Amino acid sequence: MSAAPTRALLVQPQAPGQRDPALPEEFAELARSAGAEVVALVEARLERPSASHYLGSGKVEELKDACEAAGIDLVLVNAALSPVQERNLGDALGRRVVDRVGLILDIFALRAASAEGKLQVELAQLKHQATRLVGRGKSLDSQRGGAIGLRGPGETALETDRRLIRARIDALQKRLSRIEVQQAQMRRARVRNAVPRVALVGYTNAGKSTLFNALTGGAVYAADQLFATLDPTVRRVEGLACGPLLLSDTVGFVRDLPHELVAAFRSTLAEAREADLLLHVVDAADPEREARIAAVETVLAEIGAGGLPQWRVYNKIDRIEGLVPRVELREGDAAQVWLSARDGRGLDLLREALGRRFARALLEGTVLLGHGDGRLRARLHALGAVLAEHHDEAGWTLRIRMERTVAERLAAMPEGQPLHPLLLVAQGAPP
């Protein structure tokens, strides 16, 4: 028999004259994603947060009465509370209080599947928890009942908690650093192989994973819920005019994404930061899509990906009557693509646009190198640009494929002269 869901009361602070109906709706969806049963929502008009309880005394009393009447187990506040505010509010209400940051961390802990993802979530949770230990020494002492074997002579439970958390944070950071080095090496290998890299980014629940599966034939978990998938996944997309490319599916963004998570998921977000092109997936049917586009752009700027080439992919057009798939061009390049990843309409337009875009960026052909061109030959091999090679008494014949900009940089060097005929042929001039 499964346990009854946690009965939650949501608190939505609103600045005077700035009521946004989308905020409580999204917060309720976050609560349900964490497994809570949303019983009630209370909006709180707030000019200036109280330093002690965040909410004013009158609103605290109102919440206490609402909790008693509805049998509330948990109070969720759609704001970042200080440790003192969270503790005092919980004491006043006689219920556990969790703020927006803690709620999103809890959802991430529920959804992380890979070993790395679980480590990253635990690190973020511990850093958040460490700030919540302030002033809890007495309560922890009584809860532990002595905590035999967990602390040294004369050490309080609060000091023990701090020491254990610091030690665990240090251990997690070391393990994640090793994983990050390994992943950086894999990304460098992909760069050397000159395979274009495309990253899907977007607001959570915009349909990124569904689009990822449709393009790659993969089986990444996709559901109509917030943060359905967290761990980065990279797959090849075949059958394009430019040859294969690597597509990565990244964690969905949300407005006011906790900074603890932006820092903890640096390796996930590195897939976006180091991509050749971002596909910003937008729920075309979402009435709040402009606000959510702005939220994604803010996070991209925070992680250093704000200046990367980006296309907007408006997904879920099947939910809008009369809307048809299309590609909108800007300066000869795709700027917006309208499609439905769920029923496949418009996927061919996106694949065609990607093929054209990266076909222009790639250079493929044959290069003849003499015996004195060993340095250039070594550079081409190091870049992973050599597809095939034949050697005879005249030298080497190499079939290469590489990014045009890389070939142009090499050709500008003294040893890069053999690349000039290839560049001239690619530009339409006679060899």
Q: Is residue 273 located within the same domain as residue 324?
A: yes
Q: Is residue 350 located within the same domain as residue 375?
A: no
Per-residue pLDDT at 201 exceeds 80: yes
Q: Is residue 54 located within the same domain as residue 90?
A: yes
Classify residue 186: in a domain, yes or no.
no
Classify residue 185: in a domain, yes or no.
no
| pLDDT tens-digit series, residues 64-109 | 999 999 999 999 999 989 999 999 999 999 999 999 988 888 888 7
CATH number for the domain including 72? Answer: 3.40.50.11060
Classify residue 1: in a domain, yes or no.
no
Count of structural domains, the chain: 4
Classify residue 271: in a domain, yes or no.
yes
Higher pLDDT, 44 or 361: 44
| pLDDT tens-digit series, residues 331-345 | 766 689 999 999 999
Classify residue 190: in a domain, yes or no.
no
Q: Is residue 224 located within the same domain as residue 305?
A: yes
Q: Is residue 287 located within the same domain as residue 242?
A: yes
Rounded to the nearest 10°, the torsion over CA 173, 179, 182, 184 is: -70
Classify residue 207: in a domain, yes or no.
yes
Classify residue 407: in a domain, yes or no.
yes
Q: Is residue 91 located within the same domain as residue 122?
A: no
User: Model-level pTM greater than 0.75?
Assistant: no
Domain that holds residue 97: 6-107
**Longest Cα separation, the chain:** 92
Per-residue pLDDT band for 184 (boundaries 50, 70, 90) equals low
Classify residue 162: in a domain, yes or no.
yes
Q: Is residue 239 located within the same domain as residue 126?
A: no
Q: Is residue 212 located within the same domain as residue 290?
A: yes
Q: Is residue 102 located within the same domain as residue 119?
A: no
Instruction: Choose the weakest-confidence range: 156-160, 272-276, 383-387, 412-416.
Output: 156-160
Higher pLDDT, 107 or 347: 347
